[in-house]
C-alpha cells in the first residue's frame, strides 16, 4: 500500500473513532474537556517542536497579518471542537457526522463566495442535491440541523483561512493552541478554585484517558500532514469520508441513535451529492492527467 494512503487513511480512521473517546469522558462538561484539550495539546505539540528544534517560524507571529489570521483560526477551531464534543456527548453523533459529510461541499461554496472560484456544472448539481437534503430535514423537523451546519461552516472557514496561512500544519496548530492557552488555563483555574471541576470526580482510568487528549489530538494531525504530501488531492478527497462514515456508524450501531425516515431521506440526498461530487472530481482529474501525458509526448 502507498505509504501516503496509509498515513492519511489512519488519520481519518482515528478521527472517525473520536466519538468513542469523547463518550468515555461524558461525565465532564464539554467546556472543561475543551480547555483540557487545548492545554494538553499545546504541551504535547511543544514537546514535538522541541525534539525537532523547530522554532524559527515563531518570528512570523510578529507580522500582524499572520497573528490575526491565526487568532481567527483559533476562534473557529475552538467553536468547532466545542460543538463537536458537546454534540457527541449530548447524543447527536449522527448530526455531527452530517457536518463532516457536507464540509467538502461547503468548501466549494466558500470558494465561490470568497475566492471567486467557478464550480463546474456537476459541482453545482452536487451542491443543489445536498441543499435539498438539508432543506428537507429543516422542513420536516421544523428546525435547521444547526449542529451539522455549524461544524461544516466553522471547519470550512477554518480551512479557507489556513489555505493561505503562512505556517504549516504543526506550527499552525501550535500557534492556535498557544493563543487559546491563557483563557483556557484561566477557566480551568476558575473551576478548580470554585470546586466546579469535574476532573476530581473521574475514575482513575478516565483521568488517564483525559490526560492523553493532547496525544489523541496531535497524532492524527501529524499522520494527515505526512500523508497529504504524498498522495493526490482526489485520493485525499475520497479518504476524507472515512471519518464521518465511522462516526455515523458508531452513532447508529454502538450508541443506538435513531436513524429516522427523515434522516434516511435527507442523508440519502447528501450521500448522492457526495457521490456526484467525488466521481466528477475523479473523472476531471483523470482527464487532466491524460492531457498532461499527451502534452509531454508532443513533438517540440
46-86 pLDDT tens trace: 999 999 888 999 999 999 999 999 999 999 999 999 999 99
Q: Which three cell numbers stand for residue 11?
A: 488519520
Domain assignment of residue 100, yes or no: yes
Domain assignment of residue 150, yes or no: yes
Query: By residue range, what is the domain housing residue 53?
Result: 3-120+145-255
Q: Taking residues 241-261, what's their average pLDDT?
A: 93
Q: What is the C-alpha separation between 201 and 7, in angstroms, rounded?
A: 36
Domain assignment of residue 197, yes or no: yes
Residue 297 has pLDDT above 70, yes or no: no
Domain assignment of residue 23, yes or no: yes
Q: What is the C-alpha separation between 42 and 63, in angstroms, rounded?
A: 21
Whether the CB-CB separation of 149 and 134 falls below 8 Å is answered with yes
Domain assignment of residue 44, yes or no: yes
Closest by alpha carbon to 224, among 173, 270, 263, 187? Answer: 173
Q: What is the C-alpha separation between 243 and 224, in angstroms, rounded?
A: 12
Model confidence pLDDT, tens digit, residues 137-154: 999 988 889 999 999 999
Domain count, the chain: 1
Instruction: State whether residue 42 is helix, strand or coil.
Output: helix
Domain assignment of residue 190, yes or no: yes
Domain assignment of residue 188, yes or no: yes
Model confidence pLDDT, tens digit, residues 194-212: 999 998 888 999 999 999 9
Residue for grid cell 447524543: 91
Buried b (16+ CB within 10 A) or exposed e, 205-228: ebeebbeebbebbbebbbbbbbbb
Domain assignment of residue 40, yes or no: yes
User: pTM for the whole thing?
Assistant: 0.89
Amino acid at each position: 500500500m502507498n505509504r501516503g494512503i496509509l498515513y492519511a487513511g489512519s488519520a481519518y480512521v482515528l478521527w472517525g473513532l473520536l466519538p468513542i473517546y469523547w463518550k468515555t469522558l461524558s461525565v465532564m462538561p464539554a467546556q472543561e474537556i475543551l480547555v483540557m484539550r487545548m492545554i494538553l495539546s499545546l504541551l504535547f505539540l511543544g514537546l514535538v517542536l522541541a525534539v525537532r528544534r523547530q522554532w524559527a517560524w515563531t518570528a512570523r507571529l510578529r507580522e500582524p497579518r499572520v497573528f490575526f489570521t491565526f487568532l481567527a483560526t483559533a476562534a473557529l477551531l475552538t467553536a468547532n471542537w466545542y460543538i463537536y464534543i458537546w454534540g457527541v456527548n449530548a447524543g447527536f453523533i449522527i448530526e455531527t457526522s452530517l457536518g463532516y459529510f457536507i464540509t467538502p461541499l461547503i468548501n466549494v461554496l466558500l470558494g465561490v463566495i470568497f475566492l471567486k472560484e467557478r464550480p463546474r456544472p456537476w459541482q453545482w448539481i452536487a451542491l443543489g442535491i445536498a441543499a435539498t437534503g438539508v432543506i428537507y430535514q429543516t422542513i420536516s423537523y421544523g428546525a435547521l440541523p444547526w449542529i451539522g451546519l455549524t461544524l461544516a461552516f466553522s471547519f470550512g472557514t477554518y480551512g479557507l483561512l489556513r489555505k493561505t496561512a503562512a505556517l504549516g500544519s504543526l506550527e499552525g496548530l501550535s500557534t492556535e493552541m498557544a493563543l487559546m492557552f491563557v483563557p483556557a488555563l484561566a477557566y480551568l483555574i476558575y473551576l478548580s478554585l470554585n470546586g466546579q471541576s469535574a476532573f476530581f470526580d473521574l475514575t482513575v482510568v478516565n483521568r488517564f484517558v483525559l490526560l492523553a487528549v493532547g496525544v489523541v489530538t496531535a497524532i492524527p494531525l501529524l499522520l494527515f500532514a505526512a500523508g497529504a504530501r504524498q498522495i493526490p488531492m482526489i485520493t485525499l478527497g475520497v479518504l476524507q469520508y472515512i471519518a464521518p462514515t465511522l462516526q455515523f456508524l458508531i452513532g447508529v450501531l454502538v450508541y443506538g441513535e435513531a436513524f429516522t425516515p427523515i434522516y434516511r431521506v435527507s442523508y440519502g440526498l447528501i450521500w448522492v451529492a457526495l457521490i456526484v461530487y467525488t466521481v466528477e472530481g475523479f473523472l476531471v482529474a483523470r482527464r487532466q492527467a491524460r492531457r498532461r501525458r499527451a502534452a509531454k509526448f508532443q513533438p517540440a
